[in-house]
Chain A
Amino acid sequence: MAGLLSRERTIAPPGFNRWLVPPAALAIHLSIGMAYGLSVFWLPLSKAIGVTQSAPDDWKVTQLNFTFSVAIFFLGSSAAAFGAWLEKVGPRRAGVTAAFCWAGGFLVSAIGIKLHQIALLWLGLGVIGGCGLGLGYISPVSTLIKWFPDRRGLATGLAIMGFGGGAMIGAPLADRLMKHFATPTSVGVYETFLVLAGVYFVAMLAGAFGYRVPAPGWKPAGWTPPATAASAMVTTRNVHVATAWKTPQFWALWGVLLLNVSAGIGVLSLASPMIQEIFGGRLIGLDLPLAQLSEAQKKDVASIAAGFTGLLSLANIFGRLGWASLSDRLGRRRTYMIFFVLGAILYALVPTAGHLGSTVLFVGIFVLILTMYGGGFSTIPAYLADMFGTSFVGAIHGRLLTSWSVAGLLGPFVITNIRQFQLDRGVPAAEAYGTTMYILAGFLVLGFCCNLMVRPVSEDRFMREEAPAAGAAGGR
């Protein structure tokens, strides 16, 4: 087994088809993407003892939701901590470890459900599963960039698209499984966790064993690397991970990701209540505010809001692929300039769309915003490869993902507190969103400034000789 996982065993033979690597990466990202769908378990688990309704000893949804926060925190931490290890041992060993962690996280959490120990749930899906998320997320990045030197954005976009799409498969699957396993004495989550652990373990192992790294000196047939860098913002040399994170470029990009993701997370958390409170009865053809609707009408409105959220998840997924691919033509810096300029304008237009009462304009703005949120995630690995070279891009990307962990706390914190502050001052719920959106637009203006600060890495930061270990089989 150890030999099978070694970097040397993953070096692709001559004639290997590089288009086999993106589906392998997708298998892993679609599995770990279920992290976004974990909320499907919280309501049933809040009735794990009472079954039909919550019993006094049942867990609260807020306690359960904490699992997701822990998982995202450990995603960023483990990606940062194990990125250099990944570059050393290769993507296959990292992918297999991710499979053990993610599936193992479900198993430990299943035991937690059986014993009704919330700490085991946090340890399972939060800590262990979170490490699986981090390792799984970064495992294909540097490999894909080395296989697709001509289309870095497209390659990473294809993989990272999977992380956005995992919940679309996992959440309805989990829902069906829970209904299948539910009995008068059980909500069926324990059994569902066991099945999902098995499904994800197999899918992720298949993905990990599908990974191949290109042989040294490999390049796509018919492609000639530019003799000199195509632009000052695209290097053909390498910066060591230990040096990269000490450069101003790294921290400027850290800020770029932090602000783009914080604004996106903020707007995502608001999307559903916002459309309901701003448009209220107009969503079902009645000119009434939400508070004056009957319970049945409110249910119809909530169902439309759920459809809106679904549409946003599609925008997020296609944005990951579309913007990252487009960045191959536009350049990464220009792509992020578009995210921040167009994004800030669109965020600032949301209150106007609400005042105009135009659902189409409102939905259209949100769809565009969410494509750029997804695009921010998928374009950043290629941006890093452009700035710091391909040899350590997996490890550098891992360290950069700590900004995601911070954004996961910052975005919701800002949104919740601004909204509460306004409500406490007597601002009507439907109008409390305006200031929030302007502040999120301000996040993007700051992101624009961070992106402006991204300049070519100075000469003394580049490695004099190429590192012998990391990326040994990668295209240098």
Chain B
Amino acid sequence: MSDEGSRPSTGSWLVVAAAWVAVGVPLGWGLWNTLLKAAVLFR
């Protein structure tokens, strides 16, 4: 079985976006908290 060369469907990009949001939101929250902490260094 080979799907060599087959391109992902357009709908699959929506699932990809949802998956990235699911990991991106907590990661973004963590980054934001860390940036706030690091900002003290530049005051």
Contact = CB atoms under 8 A, between A and B. Distances in A.
Contacts of A11: 1
B37 A15 contact: no
Interface in A7-32: 11-20, 23-24, 26-27, 30
Interface in A285-329: 303-304, 306-308, 310-311, 313-314, 317
B37 to A, nearest CB: 4
Contact of B4 (A24, A162, A218, A310): A218
Contacts of B2: 215-218
* Interface hub of B7, B30, B37 (most chain A Cβ within 10 A): B30
B41 A363 contact: yes
Interface string B20-39: 10110011011101110111
Interface in B1-25: 1-9, 12-13, 15-16, 19-20, 22-23
Contacts, number: 102
Interface residues of A, number: 40
Contact of A314 (B7, B16, B38): B38
B33 to A, nearest CB: 5
Contacts of A410: none
Interface stretch (A58-66, A116-124, A132-140, A165-173): A165-173
A14 B1 CA distance: 9
B22 A222 contact: no
A313 B33 CA distance: 12
B34 A168 contact: yes
Given A169-B27, A313-B34, A20 B16 contact: yes
B16 to A, nearest CB: 5
Interface string A169-185: 10010000000000000
Nearest to B12: A17
Name B's interface SS: helix
Given A20-B12, A165-B31, A27 B22 contact: yes
Nearest to B28: A169
Range for the number of chain B residues in contact with chain A = 20 to 34
B7 A15 contact: yes
B32 to A, nearest CB: 9
Given A168-B31, A221-B6, A308-B41, A26 B12 contact: no
A333 interface: no
Given A15-B8, A218-B3, A314-B34, A304 B16 contact: no
A30 B7 contact: no
Contacts of A434: none
Contact of A311 (B7, B13, B41): B41
B28 to A, nearest CB: 9
Contact of B7 (A162, A217, A221, A363): A221
A307 B7 contact: no
A50 interface: no
A24 B22 CA distance: 10
Given A27-B22, A221-B7, A363-B41, A310 B1 contact: no
B30 A172 contact: yes
Given A165-B31, A169-B29, A308 B3 contact: no
A149 interface: no
A216 B12 contact: no
A168 B22 contact: no
Contact of B19 (A20, A215, A222, A306): A20
A282 interface: no
Contact of B22 (A15, A16, A23, A219): A23
B21 to A, nearest CB: 9
Contacts of A222: 5
Contacts of A30: 23, 26-27
Contacts of A304: 40-41
Interface in A214-254: 215-219, 221-222
B13 A314 contact: no
B31 to A, nearest CB: 6
A215 B3 contact: yes
Contact of B27 (A12, A13, A17, A165): A165
B23 A17 contact: no
Contact of A216 (B1, B6, B9, B15): B1
A219 B7 CA distance: 10
Nearest to A473: B1
A11 B3 CA distance: 11
Can you list the 3 inter-chain pairs with the closest CB atoms, starting with the nearest?
A168-B30, A14-B3, A17-B8
Given A20-B19, A168-B30, A172-B33, 10 more contacts: A15-B12, A23-B20, A23-B22, A27-B23, A169-B30, A218-B2, A310-B34, A310-B38, A311-B34, A313-B34
